Every structure is written in C-alpha cells, then in structure tokens.
Structure 1
Amino acid sequence: MRYFFIVLALLVVDCLAGRSAMAQQESTRLPNILWLTSEDHGPHMGCYGDSLARTPHVDQLAKKGMRFRMAWSVVPVCAPARTAIITGVYPSASGALHMRSMVPWPEEQLLFPAYLRKAGYYTTNNSKEDYNVPKAVPPWDKSGANAHWKNRKRGQPFFAVFNSTKSHESQIRKRPHQAITNPADVRIPKYHPETPEVRQDWAQYYDQVSAADADAGIHLLELAEAGLAEETIVFYYADHGSGMPRNKRWAGNTGLQVPFVVYFPEKYRHLAPADYRAGGVSDRLISFVDLAPTILSLANIQPPAYMQGHAFAGPYTAPAPQYLFGVRGRMDERPDHVRSVTDGRYVYLRNYLLHLPHGQYLEYQFQTPTTVAWKTLFDQGKLNPAQSAMWVTPREPEELYDLTSDPDEVVNLALDPAHAETIARFRKVLFDQNVRVRDVCYLPEEEMHRRSKLTTPWGLGHRPETFALEKTIEAADVAASKVSKIEELTKFLSDTESGVRYWGLIGLLIRQQRGEPIPWPAVLPLMNDESPSVQIVAAQLAVLAGSSAEQAQGLALLKTLATPEKSDVLTSISALTAIEALGDRGQSLWDDLLLMNTANLKLPDQRFSPYIPRLLLNLKELKERRTSRK
C-alpha cells in the first residue's frame, strides 16, 4: 500500500510538471497575427465618434480591443504608404516616395514578412502588394486572391493580410450607386463647396466605408468559426485618408490620419501596449513606419537597426515618439514636394514648389465629380478663401493648423505672429527629422536615380561624401521662403552640389512668378549643367525671362529633355510638366510633342507607364482649349 501511494504521488508530480511545461510552452508560443486593411478612408467610423458611420464590426473590435487616437500613414497615397509599411523606413529615405515608382533597395534589408518567414511564420497577403521596391527575398508564402492562413502547416503560426478595396477612391464616383446614406445628412468640410456633387460623393464614401467594414466582419467571423479568435492578435487600419479630393494626396491630417484598432486576446495580453485596455483609447502617436518593427517585436524578433519606426508592442517596445511625419512627392504624373509634422494637436506643412498649386491637374483625381465641380467654381470666382486655397498660386511656404479648433485645416496660423514660437519649433523638428532619416528625396526624382546608379537611393542618402544632404535641405528651405533674397539664391547656382543648384533655380522661378527680376547671366550657364533637373528649370527660366534667342534655346532644350528617347522617362515627366506650366509660351512645342509614340517607351519599370500618356493628353486638351478660344 505504501508503494502504491509513492507511485501515485510520483504520477501526480509528473502530471503537474507536464501541465506546467505545457502552460509554459503555451505562453511562449508565437501569436497568430491578422491584419484587416482597407483603402482610402479616414477615421470616419463609429468607434471614432462619427455618428453618421455604420461600421459595426470594427466598432465591436474596438470595444473588445483598443483604438489609437492618432495614427498617420506617412504618405497620403497608397503605393508609397505601403512601401513605408513593408520596409519599416520612410519612403523619402528609401527613395520610394513617388507614386507607383520603383527604386532599387539593398538586398540585405528584407521586407519585414521575410523575417517572419525565417522565424517559422506562414505569411500571406490576399490583395494588393503595390510596393515601390523590389522583392529580392520573397516576403510572402502566398500572395494573391487564394492566399489564406488556412493553408499553413498544422500548428504553424501565421501572419495574414486581407485588404478590402470597397472604399477605394474609384468606388466613390462609381455610378449607378444604390444610396444608403442620405446626402443631406453629411457634413461638408469647410474646404469643399456646397454642391450636389460634393454631397453625393461624401454620402457614397460613407456607404463604401460600411462595405469595407462588412469585409472585415467576414474575416473576423471566419477566424472565430475556426476557433482562433483567442489565438490571434488582430489589427484594423486603412492605408491613408479618405479618397475625396484634398483628403487623399493632401499631406495634412485629413490625408494622413487613419483609423487604427488592435485586439490582443488574453493569452497575448503580455505583448500588448502598456496602456492597452478593453474599449480603451491610446494617445500614443503611431506611424506606418512603426508597423514593421512592431510585428517583428510581437514575433520576438529584434527589429533591424536600419528600420526607422518605433515598435509599440511586444518585448522590443520603444519609447513613444513626440511627433509624426508626413511626406508628399510626385502624385501620379505631377511632381511635388511637401513635408509635414504633427504633435497630435498642431499640424505643420512645409511646401516647397510654391509656384504650383496644391491642386495640380491629375487625370485620375479629376474623374471624381467633386473635383470637377470644385475646380469649375474656382475658375468662375465663386469660392471663399478656405475653398479656394486648393487651387491658388503661389502657395504659402508654411501652414499651421490647430486640430482642436480647426479639424478641417483651413485657418492657417502660420500667418499669425502669435504662433511664431510654434512655427520655429516645428521647423527645427522637421529639419532634424529629414537629416536623421536621410531624406534623399530632396533631390528631384530623376536626379536621385541618376546619382544612385552605382548604389541605391538609400545608399546615396547615407553617403555624405557624395550627397550633401544638409546643404540641399537648407537650400530648399531658403528657396521656398518669403524672406530670402535674390543674392542668396544666386550663390546657390555655382554650388558643387546639384541639389543646391536645383533649389536655387526653383527659388528664382518662384520669384519670377512674383514679378521679381532674375539674375539671368548666372542662370544661362546652367542650361548646360550635368544634371537634367537643373537644365529643365534653367530652360524654363530662359523662356520666361530671356531674350528671344535665349527663349528659343530654352524651348529647344525642353523639347529634347521631354523626349524619352533623347533623355529618359523621369526627365521627360519633369520637362513635360515645365512645358505645360509655360502655357502659351510653350505652344510651339505642342504639335511635335503630341506626335510622340508612347507605345514603345523604354521604361525603368512598368509602374511608370501611365504618366507620359496622361501628360500628353492634358497637353492635347490645352491645345484644344486654346484653339476653341480663337
């Protein structure tokens, strides 16, 4: 009998030890991670306090989990925003800022799901990659319509992405549409005019956000029915702000703020952010560059040192940042250059190409009825200052908005001397950020590619011996300033750094538009510069301010640079934009350019294929409008 009790005791101890080992194994098991994403919508959801929204599934997820009050997408348009996510670095640092571009990326710096695959995860992406960098090491076990976590090996942890396209910009303007939201009920932002088109588009937008929410509900139900709801960390977010004009593509809060909801089941609560609580709201500022390091942290992988974001969950959680940053480069066929920053209350925008309006003509954006109606009213002189700001030139170099009193971002406090201290703070924060991340996109796109042929744009930005980044940023700040003098800009024209010479010319172009005299003798030699970007602006100034012979020389140079066979596609985009900006002064080039054969363009990547045809189409319409005026 004594022997029996000894054996029984040993069995109990062994059983308890087994249970303890199982419990320890269960607590250290890598979590499943599910991303539910959607396109082109801001925080217009019930969980963010929008009473017009019908988003029950994400609202319920937020009730179980936590939402972040302020999350920014880095870029207010999809492809570079996704590139920020997949690389963990700012697209302005990788060179991948410009819409549907393609830049080489260091092969040793993997797209973050590839690190998960190495750690044993099954990684899937169900809809849309759309990255501006190549996939040297495949990040996904499966990508495409058939990609699903169900196809993993038994017991294998998964990282799965399901993206809904229901709320995309293209769906806002799709007709016919079976309306659910009453257009009379929508709130029209102060920057939009009160028209039937605007009300219709905003109402349809709300309907499409509901459709995206329904897609999220399908995937959440599927997870629950598989018994995995308490085994999986869930994220929901959109890829940037609303698809409405002056939301999408706008580098302020309405273009960059996204809904962001997370749910951590009890089993993985130890991995959650420190302020996580059911139904809670986090005031931590988060950015798309934070996603890669955060997911790696959740998988117990230390984020690589090159990643520029801050993990907000898991064992490698980093201190919360004080600021979020936004960037805007070329949007489809139109070059632009804007940087922005927020501390959660104020939003500061730094505009650089002041001679161009915020609302440059984009063929795709002008398919939305709101855009057409809005621009038509501006042309007719029927808009107030807040509604006109999208279209006027010159742009203000700086904009500052207080989101607590001005969520529509229409009252520019940068014009108020009372906010000089705040402006000075944001200027320094932005400059320090651009230097810290090595913002190589202070070079024009074509110049960045030209100078990084033997490396990558990332590599160029990190080689101060070959690219004077700080000096280039300083020149850009001077060029896009109201107080800089012509003499200061003229000195830039003889600098050894092509970025400095470019911004010196841009500063002169801005001032020429204001009617200031141009130091033409200093500009003339730059039509023979080694940099095509510098040549383009110098030629533009020649047409605007030179003698008859110099104007002819400038037009001839622009024609050559606008022809891809004689230059390259990216240079052609910039040259065609410059020719169009000349208006009637460039009309002698129109007929020849319109004969350009775009069917066999030598493209650096197919992602660039729409842009030259769109610019030529607009040039054709410009010619037709001029002919009709005669």
Structure 2
Amino acid sequence: MKFPKLLTLLALFCLNSALFAKDRPNILWISAEDHGPHLGCYGDEYATTPNLDTFAKRALRYTKASSNAPVCAPARTTIISGMYPPSLGAHNMRSRVPSPSYLKFFPTYLREAGYYTTNNNKEDYNLLTDDKGWDDSSKTAHWKNRPNPDQPFFAIFNYTASHESQIRNENKNPQHDPALAPVPPYHPDIPEVRKDWAQYYDRLTLIDNHFQARLDELEEAGLAEDTIVIFWSDHGSGMPRGKRYPGWSGLHVALMVHVPEKFKHLAPSEYLPGGTSDRLVSFVDYAATTLSLAGIKPPSYYHGKAFLGEYQTKAPAFSFGFKGRMDERPDSCRTVTDGRYVYIRNYYPHLPHGQYLYYQQQTNTTNMWYQLFNDGKLNDVQSAFWQPHPAEELFDLASDPHETVNLAASKKHRKKLNQLRDALQQHQNRTRDLSFIPEPMLREVMAKGESPAEAFAHYFEPNQNRKKTPNSKISKYWRLVELLSSKPAKIEKAMPSAIAALDDKEPIVAVTAAEVVALHSSDDAARSKAIDLLVEYSHFPKYELILSIYAINALNHIHDAGIELPDSANDIEQKPAETPDWASAYRPRALELFQD
C-alpha cells in the first residue's frame, strides 16, 4: 500500500513543480567584467554594441547603478552575501575570511525554494563557506542541465573578454580607431593611451556578441517569455583610475533589466521598455532583488534592498562604496553619493589613489602615465592620481563627470559635504564597519575562531564597565596613521610617543610607529631601530602574512623617500612555502621595488 502513496506524492511533486515554474520566473544574469557603462545605449557614441543597444529598447536601463567596490572579489562578495563586506571583515582584496554562521548566500535560498541554480563560472568571493548555493558552478554550468525541464532556474553567465588583462593582450582584429578614442582628462593624451582605450572598446564589442548568444539560447528553447534577463557590468573599466578607484569612474556600472509581459507585476512602477531609472541601486541590492523576483522574502540581516519583485522597497537617498587593500597595497577609502555629488573619505591620505600596484602596472597606459608623472610632464589633473590624496574629496558629477575638481574645501558646498559625511558615518555605524580594525588585527581575531560580529564586540562595544570606548590599540594605530600625513610641527611634537611605540606589544602598532619614526625622526639611532624592526616584521611565516605585507610596504615608502635600507632587507624571503595561493604574488611584487 505504501508504493501507490509514494507514486501519488511524486505525482503531486511534479504537478507542484510545473505550477511553480509557471508562477515564478526563470532569472538569467549576464555579466561582464571590468567595464563601466561605455555602451551605445548609455550614450557612448564610440562604442559598438548593437545587441545590447537593441536589448535596451525593450528593457529598463538604470543610469546610477554602482558596484559598491571598484574591484572584483570585494564586489562579488557584496553580491553573493547581500551585505556590505566591511561589516563581515571581507572588504580587502582576496581577504578570504570565514563567513558567519547565520549568513546564507542568496542562491541557497533560491535552491531551497526549488530553483535550479548555476554559475558559469567565476566566484572569487572573499568569504569562506561550505555551501555557496550552487547546483553547479563550473565552466559547463547551464540552465539546460536542470533535471526537470519545468523547474525554474537562476543562471549566471560571466564573461571575461573585457577584463583588464585583455586590454594589454595583442589585438589581432582591431575595430575602433585610436584617433577617435574618448580620452578622459585625467589620462595623458598619447598614442599608447589611445590604443588601450580603443582595445577596451573592441573588447566591449566581443561582450556584445557573447550577450546575444545567450539571448538566442532562450529564444531557441522557447523560454524568452518565461525569463527575466538582467545584464550588468562588474565595476569600472580595467583602465587605470577606473578599476580600483573609489570614485564614480570606479563604481559606476551598466545595469539593464527586461521583464516579460507575464511577469510585469514584478517590475517597478517606473518600468517601461526602452525607459530609464535614476534610482540608486548597487551590488548589495542584487541578492535581495533576485529573491524578491522569485517570491522569496529577503532575510532581515541582508543590507541590500529589493528594487524589483514582490518585496521591492522605496528608493534609497544614498549609495555607498568602499575600498580596502588592493593586492599587495594596503588602503582604506569610503564613498557615498546622492546621485549627483560623490564624497570620498580617505583614511590613508598619505597614500595616492594610484599606488604602484604590480598588476595594474602591466597595462601600457599605466606605465606610460606613471613615467610621465615621474618626468614632470603632466598637468595638475593628470598628476593627481599619483599624489597623496586629501582626507576628503567632493565632486559634482553634473559639472565635473570625470571627478577632477575637489570641492571639499569650498564654502559653497559645505552643506553638501556635511550631509554626505554624516550619511557615511551613520552608514558605517549602522552596518558595523570593521575596516577601522587594521587587517592584521582582524585576521588575528578571526584566526582564533571569532566571527566578525565577535570581532566588533571585542574592539568597539561596551566593556565590563559599560563604557563605550574604542579599543586602545585601535586608537593608537590611527593616531600613528594620522601622523603620516601631518604637518612637521605636529609630527615633531608626537615623535617621543612614536619612538616609544616601537616597543608596543601590538605588532601593527609597532610597524606603523616604525614607519613614522623612519620617515620623520632626526634621531639616527631611533631611525635605525625602526627600520630594523620593519625588516624583522617583514618575515613570514614568523609573523602574520598581512602584517608582513604592511611592514614591506613601509619599507617601500622609506626607500621611495631616499632613505637607505640595510643589507638585511635583501634577505627578506619573497615567497615562503607557507604562502597561501591567493596571496602568492603579493610579497614578491612588493619586495621587488627595493631588493637588489
């Protein structure tokens, strides 16, 4: 008697699956790496993207979409988690931190609801977890492989033809004339730069062809009217001061959504084929939005808000961005925009946006631009990228779309500066931004098994006496960082404290103190001690990996300042056997700048 019951249950399951497929849409994401909205449908007359332009005529095009982070791994972490990575300790490039136990990647919710979930094929998340939510994540992953043809699917196809690395590859079939390339004012207008911009646009044409191939598959399978198609690009262009730049040229992305007629009830009120939306949307919203399209209520702990589907929300007033360590170069910036003005808060103002980053320098434009800067052949706008940046920057995209005129000191814009500054501070408090904990300290805490929330409580929340004061190690670290960009009188006054901090038991405090002393102390003995300390902390695995990279960066800065390093600096091992794969190139790239 049990066997017929089982058949009945199976029949009901199949019936429910078929109904489920009819009631809920398939969702197809098509994404392309390292390019902003440089498409014909976005008004770029140099672009050759006929398929995407045609798609835009029957889709809603978002004009103010943002990637939250200007580089792939942190940006992708934002998408998959539905949360701002700084709240998870996952904001640094390839930081590889454990995911908290409560967090489910959004494909997991889709899979649990009956969707077939595929990713073809890049992941590159900063969070480590046993379940990423994919039925298949591989080069062969495809919605066609679902076991039941009536099962709804969520599928991603990610294309790398536009990736930064492709700009510097040999182009055997050039299509765009370099002489006509739109060179932004922050780049030098030289043949090498024009050639790279032309090749970048050639790559966008390849993406356009790949995109159409995926649409054709839907049509051939008869699923076009059952599938919501979303096209998006992955942060700014691979050209320098696009990718890795925390301003709008590094964060602004293309985003277009097509909702078939049968699912128009899931579209936003402003949806119109061929229309545009000025709503501020960003990568952090993609998880909640995709769940909303599938009829799944987004979890309350997600930071992102749905802009499509059953659970869509009202438009936000601001969009937020972040930048942490980029490969071998520590950095810390935060961005907020209201859609017109962009505010950037730089927490390491002693460093330029254009730090000498090995991978970025492989692009010919970057090398030529850097050489011209060193030769003193650039104007002020072109030089700014390579110079230390101020703590605060404010740009008006309406009058200055390339972000070349900093309005932060303008009395006329003081009200707007204060508004965006306050919005950013509230956002950081609300999302519990962990970036104020130096990465070596954060990694030390996580190595002990603490979650990011535990790390936040450990350093910032009320202690046993219920006094809400920052951890003294954190405060000391940031006071020393501030000295790296302070005026000489302030540095001289603080020098005794900096010298004393060379003996601090917290390694990152001692490393930062050593950089201050080595660069600014007039005491030869203290400077020598500081440099020797940095050489010592540069050794891995004796000291934590990222701590050693901070120490090596400090030695880079000292060497760049014309201060001689001891012979022992040449003995720092570039790539110890214990170096994890994700960081295998970081130490060699940073060390090569001063080792003989």
| Structure 2 contact 498–513 (Cα < 8 Å) conserved | yes
1:467 and 2:459 equivalent?
yes
What count of residue pairs does the alignment treat as equivalent?
A: 573
| Structure 2 contact 93–325 (Cα < 8 Å) conserved | yes
Query: Identity over aligned residues, as a percent?
Result: 46
1:338-487 superposed matches below 5 A: 338-393=333-388, 395-456=389-450, 458-460=452-454, 462-463=456-457, 466-468=458-460
CA drift at 1:593: 3.6
| Structure 1 contact 329–337 (Cα < 8 Å) conserved | yes
1:399 and 1:247 map into 2 onto residues whose CA distance is 17
CA drift at 1:406: 0.9
| Structure 2 contact 119–134 (Cα < 8 Å) conserved | yes
Q: Which amino acid aligns with 1:381?
A: G
1:257-276 superposed matches below 5 A: 257-276=252-271
TM-score, normalization by structure 2? 0.92
Cα distance per residue 1:29-50 (max 9 Å; x no partner): 2211000000000000011111
| Structure 1 contact 240–256 (Cα < 8 Å) conserved | yes
496 and 526 in structure 1: CA distance in 2 versus 1, 3 angstrom threshold: farther
* 1:531 alignment counterpart: 506
1:200-239 superposed matches below 5 A: 200-239=195-234
1:188 and 1:456 map into 2 onto residues whose CA distance is 48
Cα distance per residue 1:414-452 (max 9 Å; x no partner): 132211111111110111111111110122211111233
| Structure 2 contact 20–152 (Cα < 8 Å) conserved | no
1:386 and 1:365 map into 2 onto residues whose CA distance is 20
| Structure 2 contact 284–304 (Cα < 8 Å) conserved | yes
- Counterpart of 2:478 (choices 487, 503, 519) is 503
Cα distance per residue 1:203-227 (max 9 Å; x no partner): 1111101111111111111111110
| Structure 1 contact 347–403 (Cα < 8 Å) conserved | yes
1:535-546 superposed matches below 5 A: 535-544=510-519, 545=521
CA drift at 1:515: 8.0
| Structure 1 contact 123–141 (Cα < 8 Å) conserved | yes
2:66 and 2:576 map into 1 onto residues whose CA distance is 39
CA drift at 1:55: 1.1
| Structure 1 contact 105–456 (Cα < 8 Å) conserved | no
1:99 and 1:328 map into 2 onto residues whose CA distance is 9
542 and 516 in structure 1: CA distance in 2 versus 1, 3 angstrom threshold: closer
Q: Which amino acid aligns with 1:107?
A: S
Other structure's SS at 2:334 match: strand
| Structure 2 contact 442–455 (Cα < 8 Å) conserved | no
2:403 and 2:489 map into 1 onto residues whose CA distance is 26
1:351 and 1:161 map into 2 onto residues whose CA distance is 34
1:5-20 superposed matches below 5 A: none
Q: Which amino acid aligns with 1:88?
A: G
86 and 496 in structure 1: CA distance in 2 versus 1, 3 angstrom threshold: closer
25 and 495 in structure 1: CA distance in 2 versus 1, 3 angstrom threshold: closer
- Counterpart of 1:565 (choices 523, 536, 541) is 541
1:599 and 1:550 map into 2 onto residues whose CA distance is 30
CA RMSD of aligned residues (A): 2.1
- Counterpart of 1:189 (choices 160, 166, 184) is 184
CA drift at 1:594: 3.3
Cα distance per residue 1:120-146 (max 9 Å; x no partner): 111111121111111322421111111
Other structure's SS at 1:387 match: helix
Q: Which amino acid aligns with 1:398?
A: E
1:110 and 1:441 map into 2 onto residues whose CA distance is 22
| Structure 1 contact 527–539 (Cα < 8 Å) conserved | yes
- Counterpart of 1:286 (choices 274, 281, 287) is 281
| Structure 1, 153-162 or 253-262: larger mean CA deviation | 153-162
1:96-111 superposed matches below 5 A: 96-111=90-105
CA drift at 1:275: 1.2
26 and 564 in structure 1: CA distance in 2 versus 1, 3 angstrom threshold: closer
| Structure 1 contact 296–303 (Cα < 8 Å) conserved | yes
| Structure 1, 209-218 or 106-115: larger mean CA deviation | 106-115
2:214 and 2:229 map into 1 onto residues whose CA distance is 11
Q: Which amino acid aligns with 2:583?
A: F
* 2:37 alignment counterpart: 43
Other structure's SS at 2:75 match: helix
27 and 147 in structure 1: CA distance in 2 versus 1, 3 angstrom threshold: closer
* 2:581 alignment counterpart: 606
CA drift at 1:370: 0.7
- Counterpart of 2:154 (choices 152, 159, 165) is 159
CA drift at 1:200: 0.5
CA drift at 1:523: 2.1
| Structure 1 contact 40–242 (Cα < 8 Å) conserved | yes
26 and 136 in structure 1: CA distance in 2 versus 1, 3 angstrom threshold: closer
1:567 and 1:516 map into 2 onto residues whose CA distance is 28
| Structure 2 contact 89–452 (Cα < 8 Å) conserved | yes
| Structure 2 contact 97–446 (Cα < 8 Å) conserved | no
Q: Which amino acid aligns with 2:531?
A: L
| Structure 1 contact 438–461 (Cα < 8 Å) conserved | no
1:26 and 1:557 map into 2 onto residues whose CA distance is 64
Other structure's SS at 1:248 match: strand
Cα distance per residue 1:481-504 (max 9 Å; x no partner): xxxxxxxxxxxxx97432211110
1:461 and 1:316 map into 2 onto residues whose CA distance is 32
| Structure 1 contact 346–400 (Cα < 8 Å) conserved | yes
- Counterpart of 1:588 (choices 550, 560, 565) is 565
1:132 and 2:108 equivalent?
no
100 and 470 in structure 1: CA distance in 2 versus 1, 3 angstrom threshold: farther
| Structure 2 contact 535–572 (Cα < 8 Å) conserved | no
Cα distance per residue 1:64-107 (max 9 Å; x no partner): 11111100001000111000000011111111111122001113
CA drift at 1:468: 1.9
CA drift at 1:602: 2.5
* 1:255 alignment counterpart: 250
| Structure 1 contact 53–206 (Cα < 8 Å) conserved | yes
CA drift at 1:455: 4.3
Cα distance per residue 1:591-624 (max 9 Å; x no partner): 4343344443424x4212210111112223xx5x
1:164 and 1:433 map into 2 onto residues whose CA distance is 32
148 and 308 in structure 1: CA distance in 2 versus 1, 3 angstrom threshold: same
1:521 and 2:496 equivalent?
yes
TM-score, normalization by structure 1? 0.87
Q: Which amino acid aligns with 1:141?
A: D
CA drift at 1:178: 2.4
Structure 1: runs of 5+ lacking an equivalent: 1-20, 472-493, 624-630
